[in-house]
Chains A and B, each alone.
Chain A
Amino acid sequence: MKQSRMVSTMRRRQLLATMPLLIGLLAPAPLPAADGHEGVFFAEPISGRKVSSYCIELPVDQNRRKTFAIPRDCAGVLQLIDEGSFYRSSVLDRRIWQKVESDCRYHGFLNRHPMEEMEDHVTSYDFMNARLDDLPIDQRCAHDQTPEGLAACNPAATDAFGLLHHLPLGLPQGEPASSHEGSDCQLRNGVFRGRLHIDAQGIHCDAEPNTPSLRLISVDFADVNGDQVLDAVLRFIPLGPGAVRLPMTLPVTRFSDSGPFTVPDLDPPAPPQLR
């Protein structure tokens, strides 16, 4: 816990030391975060760059657009959304509102609880090269291979964060399972390419470069449920043909350095737009 606090303090100092330089050289660069997690990154609209803050102009009514700095103005943005005071006339407007909401809710999710004295068993883990076995992927659907069980299974419902929903569990029709088996079930530099099969024996993976796959785009550390145990919040994006670039969030935690990762109990539950 002490170690984790030191890490956090060091990060803050480093950032503060580089602030004048950043402000001087990169005036239009992303704004510094207003609070909490300076290490939270977003994909900046238009440029797609990795930034810790960005400015965005959003339509608030038919004839008016307003500029917001994210995450500094997230409270205002979420209030407008909750009040229904937003304007979404076009596909693009609608999608940008969604993105800003998602980013703000994610930022809020990480800042639910203050980062004070904390028990840390997650920062030492190399999530960028995580074994999928280590992650708390819900296997409830996979365990019930009966037709009734499969029919009743709703992968999205088994995972509040939608991860399973976006991971292909089955094989392509007509193909024998054996032809795909044998690869490591592991992220490599944040990327997993292949198919995932879950059965009674556990998780099996097939290496297929062109199949839908996953990229871990960020690992943030926060106490998402206020239990004074540091949690890791993993954000994945799906890759491959037909995938929609909507980040999927998977908070994980563990209570010992060698223990299994679990999904932390959330009270209150994760907000609906958090993905």
Chain B
Amino acid sequence: MQHLLLQFARHPRLWLAFLLAASVLAATQLGELRVRVAADEMLVINDPQRAYYEKVKQTFGEEKVVLLVIEDQQLLAPDKLAVLKEVVDQLAALPFVTRTESLFSVPNVKSVEGYLDKEPYLAKLPETPQEGAALLATALKNPLIRNLLVSPGGNAMAVAVVLKDGDREVDDSELTAAITRTIAPLEQAYTRVYPIGFAQVRSELATRIMDEQATLMPLAVGALLIALFLLLRQMLDILTPLVTAAVSILWTFGLMGWLGIPINVVTSTIPILLIVVGSTEDIHLLAEFRHAQRCGDAKPAALRHMARRMGRTVLLTFVTTYAGFLSVGLSGIEVLRQFGLVASTGLLFNFIVTIIFIPAALSLTGHWQLDGRSRLFEERMAKWAERYWRFIDRHRRRAFVLLTACAVLAAFGIPRIQINHNPTDSLGETSPVAQQIARLNEQFAGLESFSVVIESGIQDTFLHARYLHELVKVQNFIQAMDASLSATSFADYLALLNGAFLESENAGVPRSNDEIAELMIFLDHDRVSGYANEDYSQVRIQVRHNIATTDALRKTLGKIRAFIDENLDPGLSARITGDSTLTLSATDSMIAGQLQSVLMILTLFVLIVSFLFTDLRVGLLAALPNIFPIIILFGVMGYAGIPLNIGTTMAAAIAMGIAVDDTLHFMLRYNQELRTSKSQALAMQKTIYEEALPVVSTSVALTVGFLVFAQSDFTPVAQFGLLSALVISTALVADFVITPLAMSLLRLVTLWDLLSSRLRHQIIPRSPLFRGMRPWQIRKFVLSSTLLEFNAGDYVYRKDDDSNALYLVMKGVVEITLPRGEPESRDPIVDQFGSGQIFGDVALLANEARKTNAVALTNTTLMVLSREAIANVTFFHPFIASRLFLNLARDVSKRWVTFIGRVRTPRGDLREEDDKP
């Protein structure tokens, strides 16, 4: 990575030309970019529930509907109806409309002289207001009209405009515009007229997305620029994050255009994401460069310093964030899958642009400085860092209590979080479409729907009174749950027919098989095809409702399920399906996916930090500053009543990406400082000092930028902005309070860190004990050992001592003698061991008491590997252990061969003087 950064700095014009060429290429694809909010894309791919719903739609048909709502005190006034009739006819003639359903078309089933009359309610327009009122009263008795086409209060009615379900969907905005144009004459005639449906909601969302991108994005970028200017005071440093973000956004949009991925509610956040997450890397690289400059380095030296210190760091932070966002692509929801793939690719683009543009731009213009240093981060910052560290170290208990209290308080708020995946709620209370939906929900049964499908698999099941009444039983239960919803079924139509034949308003559902059979002669299956299949083995109850929150919907569906399980005839089976249930399934999948993504980022982070410090505890403790902002985020959402939806869960994922980036920078810096300072306190002070500029400046700038989004009228954008600002500021606190305190709990200055460079790079790797081992394996081994110092003449061990360790001579010489027990005579010398050699291993492996004495001949340093440490290594790292034992076997064998060679001398005795190591 370091070489790559320097390579880009060496040929700046070439690489900047490459960026320009790629940008021009991407720009050619921008024309293909579309804004689209499609309902299907919010659902789970390959969801069995979705497959079932598709089957149900094939059986019963699917109707995409736009409701034309008309409000007036005299709905059926003759002059008004004449205008309405004309408009309804014009609506029916629109190219994307299949038909309209209204009082002009719905049959008023009644008996005339003993025969049926199925003329529509408004086949003949009422001539007087009294006639109109009577007609309205009659219509309200029809369950297929009440709450669906006429409000129970009788002051609003609806015309259902049924849309064609062709291969090519009509553009929502074109559809909305055409309907709005057509209904214009009604505005003069009626008090209030509006068309409302999911097409209008999607159209409004798409318009809002475009508006927000056009108005708020420049404001947010402006706020970010001002904040960066105040903090950094370097023109190049301020503009660089914006340039890299702009180029990567251009590339990403170009890719989206080329792949046909639309901008939707979720992918519209990608530009913000690229600015936010991408700018942190830029600031860190630039901060390191400026730091070197302030230390007196010339431009090339400063570039080398930046590449050396930041190369690996930016690569690791990129990999963590990239993997996190890529994991969102594993989601079962189409839009999240698109988001995961596009966002991760955008981050990859941003990384590429950053590592090319910054060295290249600094190479060309790095000497340009406004005044050479930031106003806020001058030399005295080092003293502030020291004072700050001492302060929080001194008040660590208070800080711990305070932060724990915050976390606990927030944690109590988490269960209050409501889940709401309803896209109409995204529009906000001020949106005209949202207000129209609210009015619709007040007056009618609502826009949302689900179905209860009951089946037996046997032909004509529901033409038997017993099973028809099972259907009615479930339907009545649903209707009784909430008067505002509308549950309709095939039984309603039979009841209407029955009432007409029996000339009774309270005839109800036919009671006997004969009655049903007789009525069936006069039933047009087309009228009930949405409720019963052709052989009447399968029926469905259609439920229209205005249940807004996911939690409430889940409870309602749960109650229905429980009722069915308990009360439905065992010969029948029932399933609940429909848009609402799929939305519920999508919500579960979305939340699971986001949690999975957050966990993946966190796990990757823990692994990287654990690997860097070769200590899992460090990784786990370093995760605390990342978990803290998430707890605070969800806690605030719980208390503030901000629901968990596709926008707010995105904030969690993005927040985690940012928090992990900052923490990783912090930890990597700390790791570097530890190696040089050998003191945790000093390393922490230097880390705070070095990281304060990039982390504080990016955090403050991004918080300000996101707060601009919090001013949006568009609820998801406002919530996203507010929560993101909260998370970034919380992550800042976490990084500068929790991280230092957590790190200070562990002894991170290890034996490895304390070893001199000569020992680490010359003695240890050349020792026969570590032959063939990789550096990290050696390090692992060294970390499980201890160092002992001996003065000349000190015994390392004596004869008959327990053999509990083997020794590696780091410095000095140790002599091994065989005690004879004769005070006068000198003990024979068995061997002598110098730097890098090992001894004491034979007795250890034989598990016998020492047979010899070991004495330090000079001031000696030994690395001691205890029996317990070797056992641990054998247990936890068998591959390292196998290499260790092979090395030991080789060493012992060599010494044995040497020993035999000495036995074969002509004197047949040991050559004590020659046996120098």
Binding site for B on A (CB under 8 A): 41, 43, 45-50, 89-92, 94-96, 99, 190-191, 210, 215-218, 237, 239-246
Contacts and interface: CB of A to CB of B under 8 A. Distances in A.
Nearest to A215: B114
A99 B502 contact: no
B506 A49 contact: no
Interface stretch (B72-80, B515-523, B679-687): B515-523
Interface of B: 112-118, 459-460, 463-464, 497, 500-504, 506-508, 511-524, 535-536
B118 A48 contact: yes
9 contacts: A43-B115, A48-B116, A90-B460, A95-B517, A241-B506, A242-B512, A244-B518, A245-B519, A246-B518
Nearest to A128: B113
B520 A95 contact: yes
A239 B118 contact: no
A45 B502 CA distance: 17
A210 B502 CA distance: 10
Contact of B515 (A41, A90, A242): A242
A190 B503 CA distance: 13
Which of B114, B501, B521: most chain A Cβ within 10 A? B114
A48 B522 contact: yes
Contacts of A217: 113-115
Given A92-B520, A95-B520, A245-B519, A239 B115 contact: no
Contacts of A48: 115-118, 497, 500, 522
Contacts of A45: 521-522
Contacts of A90: 459-460, 535-536
Nearest to A41: B115
Contacts of B118: 47-49
Contacts of B459: 89-90
Contact of A99 (B463, B521, B536): B521
B115 A243 contact: no
Contact of B115 (A50, A91, A94, A95): A50
Contacts of A41: 115
Nearest to A209: B504
Given A95-B521, A245-B501, A190 B114 contact: yes
Contacts of B513: 91
A45 B521 CA distance: 5
B503 A191 contact: yes
A242 B517 contact: no
B502 A239 contact: yes
A54 to B, nearest CB: 11
B113 A240 contact: no
Contacts of B501: 237, 239, 245
B507 A241 contact: yes
A237 B503 CA distance: 11
Contacts of B117: 48-49
B113 A91 contact: no
Nearest to B526: A46
A89 B118 CA distance: 28
A46 B503 contact: no
B521 A243 contact: no
Contacts of A240: 502, 504
A47 B536 CA distance: 20
A94 B514 CA distance: 11
B463 A91 contact: yes
Nearest to B109: A48
A91 B460 contact: yes
Q: Which of A45, A89, A191, A241 has the most CB of B within 10 A?
A: A241
Question: Which residue, of A47, A49, A216, A243, has the highest number of chain B Cβ atoms within 10 A?
Answer: A243
A50 B113 contact: yes
Given A94-B517, A245-B515, 19 more contacts: A43-B115, A46-B521, A46-B524, A48-B115, A48-B117, A50-B113, A90-B459, A90-B460, A90-B535, A95-B521, A210-B506, A239-B504, A240-B502, A241-B504, A241-B506, A241-B508, A242-B511, A242-B512, A244-B518
A215 B116 CA distance: 13
A95 B463 CA distance: 12
Contacts of B519: 245
B460 A243 contact: no
A48 B521 CA distance: 8
Contacts of A243: 502, 515
A216 B502 CA distance: 13
Nearest to A238: B502
The 5 closest A-B pairs by CB, nearest first: A48-B116, A217-B114, A50-B115, A48-B522, A95-B517
Contacts of B515: 242-245
Contacts of A242: 511-512, 515
A91 B463 CA distance: 7
A69 to B, nearest CB: 17
B528 to A, nearest CB: 12
Contact of A95 (B116, B507, B518): B518
Contact of B522 (A46, A94, A190, A218): A46
Contacts of A92: 460, 463, 517, 520-521
Nearest to B112: A50
Residue picked from B520, B523, B536, most chain A C-beta under 10 Å: B520
A47 B116 contact: yes
Contacts of A245: 501-502, 515, 518-519
Nearest to B502: A239
Contacts of A218: 114
A50 B117 CA distance: 9
Contact of A43 (B464, B502, B506, B522): B522
B505 to A, nearest CB: 10
A244 B522 contact: no
A266 B866 CA distance: 122
B518 A190 contact: no
Q: Which of A90, A215, A245 has the most CB of B within 10 A?
A: A245
A245 B118 CA distance: 17
A34 B749 CA distance: 111
A96 B521 contact: yes
A32 to B, nearest CB: 18
B514 A244 contact: yes
Nearest to A191: B503
B518 to A, nearest CB: 5
Contacts of A215: 114, 503
A91 B116 contact: no
A217 B115 CA distance: 8
B517 A91 contact: yes
B517 A49 contact: no
B684 to A, nearest CB: 83
A190 B113 CA distance: 8
A244 B507 contact: no
Contacts of B516: 91
A89 B460 CA distance: 10
A252 B726 CA distance: 92
Nearest to B459: A90
Nearest to B535: A90
Contact of B503 (A43, A91, A239): A239
